[in-house]
Amino acid sequence: MKGYYFLVVLLLTALCGGGYVMYQQQYKMAVHVTPESENDPEWPSKKKWFDASEWLSTPQYIKINDFYVINTRYVPIGDLNSDQIIFYLKKG
């Protein structure tokens, strides 16, 4: 009987720990960077992970995958050939 309770507690601990890890993964994002050496096993591009919870916890950004987000409140740009594009990009 003691072994049964131990097994149940161990299983619940593992499930809670796994759930916490999955919850934290939703705020992690990555960018591709070039490794310093060509001998790096991740050559030619390496994933650099960072915490994006500051952006992803707001409804303005929707995570698509580990690399891309959608900004739901973007500033539309009418004419891409205008000199004002730099102003719009800095504003957005």
Residue with tokens 């050559």: 43
Q: How far is CA 91 from CA 47, 72, 73, 85, 87, in A?
A: 29, 15, 12, 10, 6
Cβ 47 vs Cβ 30: under 8 Å: yes
64-81 per-position pLDDT tens digit? 888 888 888 887 777 777
35-63 per-position pLDDT tens digit? 887 787 777 878 888 888 888 888 899 88
Which H or E run includes 14?
Answer: helix 2-25
pLDDT value for 33: 85
Q: Tell me how far apart the alpha carbons of residues 72 and 59 are, in angstroms, rounded to a whole number.
A: 8
